[in-house]
Amino acid sequence: MKRILFAAALLAALPCSVSAQVEKRVEVTKAYVPSVESAAKLAVVPDMTDTVKMRPEIDYTITPLSLQTTLATRPIRPATVTYWEFNRPLPFYLKAGAGYPLNSVLDFYASSQNPGTGYVVGYVNHEGRYAKIKNDFGIRNNSTRMLNRIGAAAGKYFGKHILEGDLSYENRMYHRYGMYVAPDVTSDMAPGAMADYGDANIAVRFGDDFQDLSRVNFEIAIRGGLFFDHSEWPDYNDKARQTTLETHAKIARGFGRHRLAAEFGYTRLAGQKAIGLYNQQLIHAALRYGIEGGVVRLEAGADYYHDKVKTVDAENYIIPFVRLNLNLGTDGLCPFFEMDGSVDDNGFRSLTRQNPYVAAAFWQTKSSVDYNGRFGIGGSIWRGKFDYRVYAGFSVRDNHPYWYVSDNYAIDGEKTAVAGAMRPALARQTVLSFNGEVTWRPVSSFRTELGVHGYIYNDDETKLHNGAPSFDGSLSAHYDGRKISFGAGVYLQSARKWSAVFENTGTETAPGEPVMQYDTFEAPFAVDLRVNFDWKVSGRVTLFAEGRNLINRRLYEYPFYPEYGANFTVGVKANF
């Protein structure tokens, strides 16, 4: 008996050799079974479309229990739980409000999530303003503006991959309330005429999230879209439509501190009816290499674009890409250097998103090409309470759109019709910028933010004004409490200038050749004071209030189209 006890003790002291020497099963008196304690919920606000898996730390105790086992070492498998099992959000979210001058807002989301199967989300978004705004000629035309969106998204998990789809329709409605027509002049364009755009899209994606690059990550995506123009315009019965087809593929893999990625995309844009001559194909390929070093963190590569617009020669562009960050051993001083760029089409759909008051069925045959560079320093000091970023930037913008007010008329120099529409002329622009951004968090629930940006433009290729500010800045403060949250901010923007081109029909250089007269519209220095307030009545209901332009300044986003004066919105947010 003593020999048996001695042998058992020896086996317990040498667990690594036991499995190699002992193959039979024995009866032991103690084993360990973990029991899970209750876990405190994480302070995470749920995103209704979030699919991230979280592994919270869970305390456990070990209780002895007699059972039969083998003499082999087996580590305890750590407990895991998905975010949706740990903190399952309520399926519905609603935000509804109204304000003065008459405006409204509505957001509604309905979602369902199964951590082992997938998710589905449906949503409705609405923003509207309805009060008439007095334009620069003292006239109150129809100023209604609305954004309405409805859609659904769904995802199905296949192991570590996901199949996702999205179906949506968006309608944007504006009115040309800034327009003026002299009382004794007849015009085909009516002041306050509607500019209305519809956009239907369907998209499908299959692949990974590119977070864990220890294995190959990939994605394949396709999107189809149909754009409608329902705008009111003289002799515009064959209203423009545009189709979009996009395909995209990406693959990436990490190798220790290194990673490689490649991407390919194809876009086809085709006009119909009033813009039937528009057809554009854009091919995009990109390569990326990254390294995570102790001192250097670098991602570098290049993007290649082949751009072919019908009726003009194809263009090819190579745009370098760099993200360089240096670790000098302190969080308070982190130099960085960045280079990037883009190629963006100037089809009718894109122009309506840049400026909704664009002339009907207008498009350009060249894409805008941007080359950007930034360098500076950033960091976090005072134990993370003070973050800053100071940098300079330089951009070369080929085929940059210079928006000017068109479809204006004058008789012997006197303006008779103004602000009928806007069009972009394309020219090269270079920009030098100086930027500073600061965030101060004395406590976790309070922060202040300051941003200052200055710009120097070179617009020598055109005599048109660029409509851009030479300075903008912001200062804001935010408090986030358990029951009450509020914030206030002031947003500044220097004066901006646009060109307005008039066709002077009273004076002619030759029979039938009117003189083109250039004028300037200047938006004054802008100061926009905003506040917001949230009161959490319960865990599910929050009352909110938002105020904008509270010092009642004359603000402009587009020439001749002033925004609301002082205005506010109040309402409720609810989870149920």
The residue with tokens 């956009």 is 199
List own/partner pairs for 188-194 with CB under 8 A and 24 or more apart.
Answer: 188/234, 188/235, 189/233, 189/234, 189/407, 189/417, 189/420, 189/421, 190/232, 191/139, 191/141, 192/141, 192/142, 192/143, 193/231, 193/232, 193/233, 194/142, 194/230, 194/231, 194/232
pLDDT for 478 beyond 70: yes
Say whether both 416 and 560 belong to one domain.
Answer: yes
pLDDT reported for residue 516: 84
Task: Point out the domain boundary residue: 303, 327, 359.
Answer: 359
The verdict on 531 and 386 lying in the same domain is yes
Q: What is the model's pLDDT at position 232?
A: 93
pTM value? 0.83
Q: Based on the fold, state whether residues 157 and 240 are members of the same structural domain.
A: no
Under DSSP, is residue 201 helix (H, G, I), strand (E, B) or coil? strand
* Over residues 386-394, mean pLDDT: 98
Q: Which of 157, 192, 227 is the last residue of a domain?
A: 192
In 3D, which of 535, 545, 541 has the Cα closest to residue 575? Answer: 541
Judge if 299 and 392 occupy the same domain. Answer: no
Is 24 domain-assigned?
no
Same domain, 319 and 426: no
Same domain, 225 and 281: yes
Nearest to 71 by CA among 27, 130, 134: 27
What is the pLDDT at residue 409? 86
Mean pLDDT confidence for 339-366? 97
Same domain for 137 and 229? no
Q: Which domain holds residue 234?
A: 216-359
Rounding to the nearest 10 degrees, give the CA dihedral for residues 275, 347, 170, 534: -150
What is the arithmetic mean of pLDDT over 393-401?
Answer: 98
65 lies in a domain? no
Domain contains 82: no
How far is 303 from 318, CA to CA, in rounded Å? 6
Mean pLDDT of the chain: 87
Residue 368 lies in a domain: no
In the chain, the percentage of residues whose pLDDT exceeds 90 is 75
| CA distances, 180 to each of 134, 141, 191, 555 (Å) | 11, 9, 6, 19
Q: What are the pLDDT digits (tens) for 18-67?
A: 344 334 444 444 444 444 444 444 444 444 444 333 333 433 333 333 33
Do residue 395 and residue 527 come from a single domain?
yes
| CA-closest candidate to residue 27, choices 81, 73, 68, 64 | 68
Residue 44 falls within a domain, yes or no?
no
pLDDT of residue 513: 66
Q: How many helices (H) and strands (E) does the chain have?
A: 4, 34
Residue 66 maps to a domain: no
- Quote the pLDDT of residue 511: 53
pLDDT at residue 4 greater than cutoff 50 = no
How many domains does the chain fold into? Answer: 3
Domain boundary, last residue among 192, 207, 235 = 192
Residues 418 and 482 in one domain: yes
Q: What is the pLDDT of residues 496-507, one digit of tens each?
A: 999 999 988 765
Is 562 found in the same domain as 413?
A: yes
d(CA 551, CA 169): 36
- pLDDT score of 47: 44
pLDDT tops 80 at residue 231: yes
Residue 86 lies in a domain: no
Q: What is the structure's pLDDT at 87? A: 54
**Domain membership flag for residue 48:** no
Our CA angle for 506, 511, 517, nearest 5°, is 40
Reported as half-sphere exposure (CB side, CA atoms, 13 A), residue 519 has a value of 21
Q: What is the mean pLDDT of residues 385-410?
A: 96
Mean pLDDT of the 478-497 span: 97
Identify which of 252, 335, 250 has the alpha carbon closest to the alpha carbon of residue 298.
Answer: 335
- Assess whether 317 and 423 both reside in one domain: no
Q: Using CA atoms, how far apart are residues 422 and 176, in angstroms rounded to an integer?
A: 11
Q: State whether 221 and 266 are in the same domain.
A: yes
The mean pLDDT value for 273-286 works out to 98
